[in-house]
Chain A
Amino acid sequence: MERISIDPITRLEGHGRIEIFLDDAGNVANAYFQVPELRGFEQFCIGRLAEEMPIITNRICGVCPEAHHMASVKALDDLFAVEPPPAARKIRELLYMAFFVTDHTTHFYALGGPDFIVGPDAPPGERNILGVARKVGLDIARQVIGCRSRNHHIIQLLSGRGIHPVAGVPGGWSRQVTSAEQAEIVEAARQNVEFALFTLQLFADIVLANPVYRELVTSDLYLHRTYSMGTVDGERRGNFYDGLVRVVDPDGNELVTYPPSSYMDHIAERVEPWTYLKFPYLKNVGWKGFVDGPESGVYTATPLSRLNVADGMATPLAQEHFDRLFATFGSTKNDKGRYQPVHHRLATHWARLVELLYAAERMLELAEDPEIISPHVRTIPDPRGIKGSGIGSVEAPRGTLTHHYVTDKRGVLQQVNLIVGTTNNYAPMAMSVKRAAEGLIKGGVVIEEGLLNRIEMAFRLYDPCLSCATHALPGQMPFRLLIRDPQGTILRELGRKP
Chain B
Amino acid sequence: MTTTEKATIIGIGNPLLTDDAVGIATVRRLQETLGGRDDIVLQELYTGGIRLMEAMAGFDRAWVVDAMVTGTVPPGTLRRFSPADFVATRHAASSHDTDLATALETARLLGIRLPREITIWGVEAAEVGQFGETLTPALTMAVPQVIAGILGELSAVGRSSCV
Contacts and interface: CB of A to CB of B under 8 A. Distances in A.
Contacts of A198: none
A118 to B, nearest CB: 12
Interface in A90-116: 106-107, 110-111
A13 B131 contact: no
B84 interface: no
B129 A37 contact: yes
B73 to A, nearest CB: 14
B105 A468 contact: no
A13 B96 contact: yes
Contact of A39 (B49, B69, B130): B130
Interface residues of A, number: 50
B45 interface: yes
A468 to B, nearest CB: 6
A274 interface: no
Interface in B80-110: 86-88, 90-99, 101-103, 105-106, 109-110
B22 to A, nearest CB: 14
Interface stretch (B1-9, B11-19, B136-144, B149-157): B11-19
B109 A141 contact: yes
A11 B130 contact: no
Q: Is the interface of A mostly helix, strand, loop or mixed?
A: loop
A488 interface: no
Interface stretch (A58-66, A181-189, A332-340): A58-66
A470 B129 contact: yes
A498 B86 contact: yes
Given A60-B16, A106-B96, A36 B109 contact: no
A130 interface: yes
Nearest to A12: B95
Interface string B48-59: 011100100000
A141 B132 CA distance: 38
A119 to B, nearest CB: 17
Nearest to A134: B109
A44 B93 contact: no
A23 B64 CA distance: 47
Interface string B5-43: 000000000111100000000000000000000000000
Interface in A58-91: 59-63, 65
B112 to A, nearest CB: 7
A59 B90 contact: no
Contacts of A62: 14, 45-47, 51, 91, 94
A153 to B, nearest CB: 11
A60 B16 CA distance: 8
A128 B102 CA distance: 8
Contacts of A163: 44-46, 51
Given A41-B131, A130-B105, A10 B95 contact: yes
B96 A63 contact: yes
A40 interface: yes
Contacts of B16: 44, 56, 59-60
Interface in A238-260: none
B128 interface: yes
Nearest to A149: B54
Most interface-central of A39, A149, A465 (chain B CB within 10 A)? A39
A56 to B, nearest CB: 7
B92 A11 contact: no
Interface string B105-139: 11001101000000000000000111110000000
A129 B95 contact: no
Contact of B88 (A11, A60, A129, A473): A473
Contacts of A149: 54
A129 B46 contact: no
Contacts of A63: 47, 94, 96
Contacts of A468: 14, 17
B102 A142 contact: no
A25 interface: no
A91 to B, nearest CB: 23
B97 A111 contact: yes
A387 interface: no
Nearest to B93: A473
A472 interface: yes
Contacts of B106: 129-130, 133, 141, 145
Contacts of B105: 130
Nearest to B70: A476
Nearest to B127: A39
A26 interface: no
A14 interface: yes
B50 A148 contact: yes
A110 B97 contact: yes
A11 B110 contact: no
Given A141-B109, A498-B86, A474 B99 contact: yes
Contacts of B49: 110
A9 B103 CA distance: 19
Nearest to A43: B131
A130 B90 contact: no
A49 interface: no
A104 to B, nearest CB: 12
Given A13-B94, A148-B50, A471-B95, A59 B132 contact: no
Contact of B54 (A39, A133, A145): A145
Given A11-B95, A469-B129, A474-B93, 13 more contacts: A10-B95, A13-B47, A60-B14, A61-B46, A62-B51, A106-B96, A130-B102, A141-B109, A145-B106, A145-B110, A164-B46, A470-B69, A471-B90
4 cross-chain pairs, A with B, having the tightest CB-CB distances, nearest first: A62-B46, A62-B47, A44-B131, A110-B97
15 contacts: A59-B14, A62-B45, A63-B94, A106-B96, A110-B49, A110-B50, A129-B98, A130-B105, A133-B106, A148-B54, A163-B46, A471-B95, A474-B99, A475-B88, A476-B88
